[in-house]
């Protein structure tokens, strides 16, 4: 549970925050030890942690500034603490920041704070020349229904960098209920791009299936016939199209099939596509 934020930190509070900050700085960024320390700081959610992270935003080392963004972006989760102050600190750093890794961390974490102005702060990074920054922008814009965010994600879903393209497609397909012709067209475009891998195609299929686009039945059938594709199975279940039953039933004998997937995920999709099933 997050600690009180309206009182002055004690020496013990500051020491504990400094301990976890030091632990995170000594760890490999993104590794298990790093995540453990960052999550501990999130859970503390107190003013001492906020002040320690805010001071770190002015560190000389880019990894330290990125760490500060990771802490402030989710301070106090699941019940956010000091969100306005965190947003102000991150946007102040953003105005002065040039390092791609830090810009990426700032974009990702600014969007997650769900503050007014978050989309406007992240948008300028959506066409940054560094793909890591564009990836951060995707993560920051994800889940926002603001038309500006949707338009930027549509553009990023055609990004030359696969990770950027994949996450933007996921964001459009499953992380918003917005449904426009432009969004549907962007998802459809991901089905016909030979450079895409199965995961990107699958995210697009799920997004279109959630919006009831029956025109993708043939695409789903081909994906199911190509191998064990959980996203294609999910899309088939969402569509509930009887034409997909043969391909779904054929997957029962797939050598990589697990008992749980066969009985739950695949079984559910088969039931939803079977006109005689009671679902």
Our measurement of the distance from residue 175's CA atom to the centroid of its chain's CA atoms, rounded to an integer in Å, reads 8
Instruction: Note whether 34 and 102 are same-domain residues.
Output: yes
Same domain, 82 and 165: no
CB 86 within 8 A of CB 50: yes
pLDDT attached to residue 4: 53
Q: Are residues 211 and 245 in the same domain?
A: yes
**Quick check: 5 pLDDT over 80?**
no
Spatial CA neighbour of 71 closest among 17, 26, 123: 17
- Cα angle: 210, vertex 215, 217; to 5 degrees: 80
Q: 205 and 278 share a domain?
A: yes
Segment 48-83, tens digit of pLDDT: 999 999 999 999 999 999 999 999 999 999 899 999
pLDDT of 135 above 50: yes
- Of 169, 189, 209, the one marking the end of a domain is 189
**Rounded Cα gap, residues 200 and 157, in angstroms:** 9
Q: Check: pTM over 0.85? Answer yes or no.
A: yes
Structural domain count of the chain: 3
State the Cα–Cα distance between residues 80 and 59, nearest whole angstrom: 24
Residue 23 shares a structural domain with residue 63 = yes
Report CA torsion sign: 59, 62, 68, 69.
Answer: positive
**21 and 78 co-located in one domain:** yes
Tell me, yes or no, whether 168 and 255 share the same domain.
no
In a domain, 233, yes or no: yes
27/102 same-domain check? yes
- Shared domain for 57 and 143, answered yes or no, is no
Residue 8 lies in a domain: no
Domain span at residue 173?
Answer: 126-189
Do 142 and 64 share a structural domain? no
Residue with tokens 């789903």: 220
Q: State whether 268 and 239 are in the same domain.
A: yes
Are 256 and 218 found together in one domain? yes
């Amino acid at each position: 549970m997050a600690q009180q934020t309206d009182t002055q930190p004690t020496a013990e509070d500051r020491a504990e925050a400094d301990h976890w900050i030091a632990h995170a700085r000594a760890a490999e960024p993104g590794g298990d030890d790093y995540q453990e320390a960052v999550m501990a700081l999130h859970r503390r959610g107190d003013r001492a942690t906020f002040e320690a992270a805010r001071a770190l935003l002015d560190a000389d080392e880019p990894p330290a500034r990125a760490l500060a963004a990771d802490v402030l972006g989710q301070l106090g989760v699941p019940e956010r603490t000091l969100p306005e102050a965190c947003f102000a600190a991150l946007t102040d750093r953003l105005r002065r920041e040039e390092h791609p890794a830090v810009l990426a961390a700032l974009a990702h974490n600014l969007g997650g704070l769900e503050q007014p102005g978050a989309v406007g702060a992240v948008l300028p990074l959506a066409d940054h020349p560094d793909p890591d920054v564009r990836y951060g922008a995707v993560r920051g814009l994800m889940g926002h229904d603001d038309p500006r965010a949707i338009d930027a994600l549509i553009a990023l879903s055609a990004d030359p960098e696969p990770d950027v393209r994949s996450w933007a497609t996921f964001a459009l397909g499953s992380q918003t209920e917005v449904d426009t012709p432009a969004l549907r067209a962007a998802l459809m475009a991901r089905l016909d791009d030979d450079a895409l891998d199965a995961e990107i195609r699958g995210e697009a299929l799920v997004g279109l299936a959630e919006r009831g686009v029956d025109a993708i039945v043939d695409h789903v059938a081909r994906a199911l016939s190509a191998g064990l594709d959980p996203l294609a199975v999910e899309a088939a279940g969402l569509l509930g199209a009887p034409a997909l039953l043969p391909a779904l039933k054929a997957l029962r004998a797939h050598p990589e099939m697990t008992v749980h997937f066969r009985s739950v995920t695949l079984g559910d999709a088969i039931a939803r596509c079977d006109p005689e099933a009671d679902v």
